[in-house]
Amino acid sequence: MDLQSLCRVIFVSALISLVCHPCSVTAGDIVHDDNLAPKKPGCENDFVLVKVQTWVNGIEDAEFVGVGARFGTTIVSKEKNANQRRLVLSDPRDCCSPPKNKLANDVIMVDRGRCKFTTKANNAEAAHASAVLIINNQKELYKMVCEPDETDLDIHIPAVMLPQDAGTSLEKMLISNSSVSVQLYSPKRPLVDIAEVFLWLMAVGTILCASYWSAWTAREAAIEQDKLLKDALDEIPDTRHVGSGGIVDINTTSAILFVVIASCFLVMLYKLMSFWFVELLVVLFCIGGVEGLQTCLVALLSRWFKRAGESYIKVPFFGAISYLTLAVSPFCITFAVVWAVYRNVSFAWIGQDILGIALIITVLQIVRVPNLKVGTVLLSCAFLYDIFWVFVSKKLFHESVMIVVARGDKSGEDGIPMLLKIPRLFDPWGGYSIIGFGDILLPGLLIAFSLRYDWLTNKTLRAGYFLWAMFAYGLGLLITYVALNLMDGHGQPALLYIVPFTLGTFLTLGRKRGDLRVLWTKGEPDRPCPHIRLEHQHSGELSED
- Cross-strand bridge partners of residue 56: 59, 180
Strand intervals (E) in 105-172: 107-111, 131-135, 159-162
pLDDT at residue 160, as a whole number? 95
With the C-alpha atoms ordered 317, 318, 323, 325, is the resulting torsion angle positive or negative? negative
The amino acid at 347: F
Q: What is the pLDDT of residue 31?
A: 39
Q: Is 439 a catalytic residue?
A: yes
pTM of the model as a whole: 0.80
CATH, range 31-185: 3.50.30.30
Q: Which helix (H) or strand (E) holds 183?
A: strand 180-185
| Cis preceding linkage at 525, omega within 30 | no
Spatial CB neighbours of 263, under 8 Å, sequence gap ≥ 6: 385, 388, 389
Q: CB burial class (10 A; 0-12, 13-18, 19+) of residue 447?
A: buried
Q: Which residues contact 469 (CB under 8 A, 6 or more apart)?
A: 446, 447, 450, 502, 505, 506
Residue 240 has what pLDDT?
43
- Is residue 18 a contact partner of residue 265, using CB atoms and an 8 Å limit? yes
Which residue(s) pair with 89 in the sheet? 109
Q: Are 266 and 396 in contact (CB under 8 A)?
A: no
Question: pLDDT digit string (tens) for 246-261?
Answer: 678 888 998 888 888 8
- Alpha-helical (H) ranges within 273-420 are 275-301, 306-310, 323-341, 348-366, 372-387, 393-397, 401-407
- Locate the domains of the chain by residue range: 31-185, 194-230+246-525
Q: Which residues of the chain have pLDDT under 70?
A: 1-39, 229-246, 407-415, 488-491, 526-545
Q: What was the pLDDT predicted at 2?
A: 46
Contacts 24+ apart (CB under 8 A), 308-313: none
**Cα(178)–Cα(57) distance, rounded to whole angstroms?**
6
How many Å apart are CA 365 and CA 8, to the nearest integer?
Answer: 12
Q: What is the reported pLDDT for 370?
A: 92
DSSP annotation string for 377-440 = HHHHHHHHHHHIIIIIHHHHHSS-HHHHHHHTTTTTSS--SSEEEEE-TT-TT--EEEEETHHH
Minimal CA–CA distance to 108: which of 93, 252, 70, 533? 93
390 contacts: CB under 8 Å, gap ≥ 6: 22, 400, 402, 403, 491, 492, 493, 496
**Bridge partners of residue 312, in order along the sequence:** 322
386, 409, 414, 427: which one is catalytic?
386
How far is CA 293 from each of CA 205, 210, 239, 323, 357, rounded to the nearest angstrom? 16, 13, 30, 16, 9
Answer yes or no: 386 catalytic: yes
